[in-house]
Homo-oligomer: A and B are copies of this chain.
Amino acid sequence: MARMNGKSVLLSMAAWVVLTSSAQAELDDRSIIDLTYPFDEHTIYWPHNKPFAWEQTSWGPSSGGYWYASGQFCTAEHGGTHLDAPIHFAKDGLTLDEIPLQKLIGPAVVIDVSEAAKQDRDYRMTVADIQGWEKAYGRIPDGAIVLMRTGWGQFWPDRKAYLGSQTPDDAATLHFPGFSKEAAVYLTSGRRIDGIGIDTASMDHGPSRDFIVHQIVNGANLYGLENLANLDQLPQKGATLILLPMKIKGGSGGPVRVIALLPQEIKR
């Protein structure tokens, strides 16, 4: 609890000063990546959750002569690209609206296990995978958001392929990669991160029954991001994430828009 409630946060102070200055220059669209899948009828939800339900309530010329379009929708909190708030798996954890804004901006640490996941679709990221990243790029910085890249985006929005089951509404049959318990402990106890994220449906791998990674991460009052898009477009180090969830009072999680600012030298 102490960490999430603390006021200090790690972000470049220089960035702060300059971002809020009035200096202006050109920036093209290669410099921001959207890590968010759209919400529509194809959006993948967890077994037994209803699909995204959106409907037009008005859509056309109005009696006043002007065009008018408006809609409404229903959704589970934990479908599509979404955030798991700490209370999702921790009774006294923060709710979605309570996560400090400073925890929603931070450096992206991208750990690529896609080769291992090709060999084993139930692969769990190991401590050695994390240490391999640290050997190449240095210690995981304070305030980081640690993203596990499995390559699963290639299956979206094919629900059976993505969830790894011919019976994707049976949670006992799922197969996809996730974090290991030991990796979760390493990240939450040994490093001062803000949260973790993954490009599969869950921080825990498909066969998990105890959701131990959720228990550990949310138990540390940290958040998880699931069903992230386009992780293959991020550098392993150097991008900055900004993730702003819908502000649902008391929510256990919910839709989040996640974007990545690329370092200047990287162009897609």
For A13, give the chain B residue with the smallest CB separation: B25
Chain B positions within 8 Å of A209 at CB level: 64
Q: Mark A61-72, 1 if CB is under 8 A from B, else 0.
A: 000111111111
A249 with B7: CB separation less than 8 A:
no
Q: How distant is the Cα of A142 from the Cα of B24 in the complex, in angstroms?
A: 8
B9 with A15: CB separation less than 8 A:
no
Spot the interface stretch: A95-103, A162-170, A180-188.
Answer: A95-103
Q: How distant is the Cα of A72 from the Cα of B102 in the complex, in angstroms?
A: 26
The answer to whether residues A13 and B39 also contact, given A88-B69, A263-B20 and a CB cut-off of 8 A, is no
State how many angstroms separate the Cβ of A138 from the closest Cβ of chain B. Answer: 8
State how many angstroms separate the Cβ of A51 from the closest Cβ of chain B. Answer: 12
Q: Mark A235-254, 1 if CB is under 8 A from B, else 0.
A: 00111101111111111111
State how many angstroms separate the Cβ of A164 from the closest Cβ of chain B. Answer: 21
B253 with A70: CB separation less than 8 A:
yes
A222 in the interface (beta carbon within 8 A): no
Q: How distant is the Cα of A39 from the Cα of B247 in the complex, in angstroms?
A: 6
Q: Which of B16, B31, B247 contacts A261 (CB 8 A)?
A: B16
B91 with A67: CB separation less than 8 A:
yes
Q: How distant is the Cα of A71 from the Cα of B49 in the complex, in angstroms?
A: 10
Q: Which of B10, B54, B255 contacts A25 (CB 8 A)?
A: B10
Residues of A in contact with B (beta carbons under 8 Å apart): 7-29, 31-32, 34, 36-40, 49-50, 54, 57, 59, 64-78, 81, 87-91, 97, 100-102, 107, 141-143, 209-211, 215, 237-240, 242-255, 257, 259, 261-264
Known: A243-B244, A246-B257, A255-B255. 7 other contacts (CB 8 A): A8-B26, A20-B238, A21-B263, A27-B102, A38-B97, A70-B252, A72-B74
